[in-house]
A and B are shown apart, each in its own frame.
Chain A
């Protein structure tokens, strides 16, 4: 059974950095695409970005709203995908989800709160 577990969410001050992890069980992260989404409190879902499989060149794409501040990466031996977030703003406060490339498995999410 495939399971994705996000971790690393925290309360941070504006301008600080935070790295989220998505640990995968039941699949090899290097063999598939992985995506990150977020959902601000009481709002809808927003795509953040993805990383494709090794076989597809590990291509990374981002939403324009985070492109210069967020970085997606992957550690294949550890089977973990990462979302590094820099220069955090209040508007980045949300629950962050990782998913498989086919969107058929989602983690439970991890909460990031940005506030002074």
Chain B
């Protein structure tokens, strides 16, 4: 089973400041087809996860360009260029290159 280690566990950010979340995988998420099977989701309290990033760096439709995903192989990062109130919640990375699909433990982002 692929283990995804997310850091930090929580983040307190002032509005307008940047934030960065790391997701490190125990195995490479780069498939032989050239696709990187890494996703990012945001879950706000009482809501289902919202898809943010797929294939490591592509934003899902409608996702703000303040969010960006980067990385390759086993090391990935989600960056928020300027944190706003709507960015509060728990961020999860997920891999789908190998079954079972697995998630990172989550990073809670709050506004200072």
- Candidate in A35, A44, A63, A107 with the most chain B CB atoms within 10 angstroms: A44
| B76 within 8 Å of A (CB atoms) | no
Number of interface residues of B (CB under 8 A): 22
Interface majority SS on B: helix, strand, loop or mixed?
loop
| A30 within 8 Å of B (CB atoms) | no
Q: How far is the CB of A51 from chain B (nearest CB, A)?
A: 13
Closest 8 CB pairs of A and B: A47-B101, A106-B48, A63-B100, A45-B103, A104-B51, A44-B106, A47-B100, A109-B48
Pairs across A and B, CB under 8 Å, 16 listed: A44-B103, A44-B104, A44-B105, A45-B41, A45-B43, A45-B49, A46-B103, A47-B103, A63-B99, A64-B100, A97-B49, A103-B39, A103-B51, A104-B54, A107-B48, A109-B48
